[in-house]
Amino acid sequence: MSLNELAFKLNAHLTAEDTRFDAVLAESGVLEVICSNNEEFPINIVKTDTQLLAITPLFDVNEVKPDKVNELNEELLFISPAIPLSAIGRQGDSYILFGAMALDTLFENIVHELEVQAENTVDVLQVIEPLLL
Amino acid sequence: MGILKNILTAVRGGASEVGESIVDANAVRILGQEIRDAQDAIGKAKQSLTGLKASEIKLKREINSLESDIASYESKAVQALEAGNEALAVEVAERIAEIENEAGEKSAEHSALSAQVNKINSMIRQREKVIQKNGRELEKIKTVEQLQKATSSMSTNFAATNASEHRVSKALERVKKKQANWEDRMEAGEWMEGEASGDDLDRKLKDAGIGANTSSGASSVLERLKKKSGQ
């Protein structure tokens, strides 16, 4: 399924938990998805030869209290294994929450992953909020 | 090649902008070239393998035929001996020796061909491993490139919306507010549903003549008035 097709299907879908998606394929080739259960932190979907990567940018390192960066990193290492279906990482200066799926993942499973990722984002940020500016 | 190590070094070194190379472009080119070379080599090896395998099968068939000739001549030589014709038996024995020599040569050739076929097969397997390994390495590079792409579009968003401090806290606040609104609406929806089903229950009770005021209406008033005037 191409990202364009995925966008089309997502926009027409309503989950069992009443989550809607607003998916737009940007010129850069990134599929930007806003889940109605967390509209503040969009999920960016990209594709490689073997995977579908769903990435939620969380914050930049300059948004972390300067003396709390190490504490934050350690906290995230502990949190990461506890989050279902998602992992936390850093890309350049940005902290990200991400999930990887095989290219032949069923649409229903992609939807589930996105819904959970949107929830995970809020959960993680609530935990580390005190360490942010 | 430890691509992952290169990627990490490059990313930590600040190669985080889109278009900026994650790893040395040469390394990527070399990986790609190795994959193409391995594919070419496999293509050629498969072609020559077909020819070799055909020769191997042909030789095997010839050897089988020679062996059956030997068996046939052996039985004939025995028959000649049994008939007391030693001269004929010697002639047959000479023929058997010739055929055995030929079969021996062909067997040696067959063994050499088999060894070559095995060697080419294992070469193909090795090249296929190179393709798979390099493919995985390239996939790592592509993954990080895609990650950069996905993250950089958001970084631009951060820059646009990051005018104020506490961006994350404020965003979280808005998410919570929306969730609370949604929960309120859900609760309201449930209340409405409850009301609707309550009405429904009242109607059912009335239909069943339970709890409803049955004395209302013009007919019941007239009845009452008739009773009054009859007194």
For an interface test with B, give the residue of A94, A124, A133 to mutate (most B CBs within 10 A). Answer: A94
**Predicted local distance difference test score (pLDDT) of residue B158:** 62
DSSP per-residue letters across B79-107:
HHHHTT-HHHHHHHHHHHHHHHHHHHHHH
Partner-chain residue, chosen from B149, B157, B178, that has the shortest CB–CB distance to A29: B149
B-side interface with A, Cβ within 8 Å?
A: 11, 14, 16-18, 138-139, 142-143, 146-155, 157-158, 162, 165-169, 171-172, 174-175, 178-179
Q: Is B167 in contact with A40 (Cβ distance < 8 A)?
A: no
Q: Is B146 in contact with A47 (Cβ distance < 8 A)?
A: yes
Instruction: Give the residue from chain A lying closest to B175, CA to CA.
Output: A38
Residue A87 above 90 pLDDT?
A: yes
Size of interface A-B (CB pairs under 8 A): 100
Nearest one of B136, B158, B18 to A30, comparing CA atoms? B18
Residue whose token pair is 């001996």: B81
Residue whose token pair is 């940020």: A125
For an interface test with B, give the residue of A20, A46, A61, A122 to mutate (most B CBs within 10 A). Answer: A46
Burial of residue B13 (number of CB atoms within 10 Å: 0-12, 13-18, 19+): exposed
Q: How far is CA B205 from CA A60, A72, B123, B217, in A?
A: 63, 63, 86, 18
Residue B159 above 70 pLDDT?
A: no
pLDDT: is B1 or B187 the higher one? B187
Yes or no: say if A101 and A54 are a contact pair by the CB < 8 Å rule: yes
Q: Is A57 in contact with B151 (Cβ distance < 8 A)?
A: yes
Among the residues of A1-133, which ranges form H helices?
3-11, 69-79, 107-128
Instruction: Give the residue from chain A lying closest to B22, CA to CA.
Output: A92
Percent of chain A with pLDDT over 70: 100
Range name among B1-5, B83-87, B95-99, B201-205 with the lowest pLDDT average:
B1-5
**Predicted local distance difference test score (pLDDT) of residue B231:** 57
Residue A126 CB contacts under 8 Å (≥ 6 apart), including other chains: B172
**Predicted local distance difference test score (pLDDT) of residue B21:** 59
Confidence of residue B38 (pLDDT cuts 50, 70, 90): confident
Mean pLDDT of all residues in chain B?
82
A123 chain-B contacts, CB cut-off 8 A: none
Beta bridge partners of A132: A64
A34-74: per-residue pLDDT in tens?
999 899 899 999 999 889 999 999 999 999 999 999 999 99
Confidence of residue B204 (pLDDT cuts 50, 70, 90): confident
Cα–Cα distance for residue pair B182/B159, rounded to 1 Å: 30
For an interface test with A, give the residue of B8, B146, B152, B162 to mutate (most A CBs within 10 A). Answer: B146
B179 chain-A contacts, CB cut-off 8 A: 37
For the full predicted model, state whether its pTM sits above 0.80. no
**Predicted local distance difference test score (pLDDT) of residue B72:** 95
B113-127: per-residue pLDDT in tens?
999 999 999 988 888
Cα–Cα distance for residue pair A54/B17, rounded to 1 Å: 19
Residue A5 CB contacts under 8 Å (≥ 6 apart), including other chains: none
**Predicted local distance difference test score (pLDDT) of residue B188:** 82
**Predicted local distance difference test score (pLDDT) of residue B95:** 94
Q: Is A51 in contact with B149 (Cβ distance < 8 A)?
A: no
Instruction: Give the residue from chain B lying closest to A52, CA to CA.
Output: B143
Q: Is B168 in contact with A125 (Cβ distance < 8 A)?
A: yes
A51 chain-B contacts, CB cut-off 8 A: 139, 143
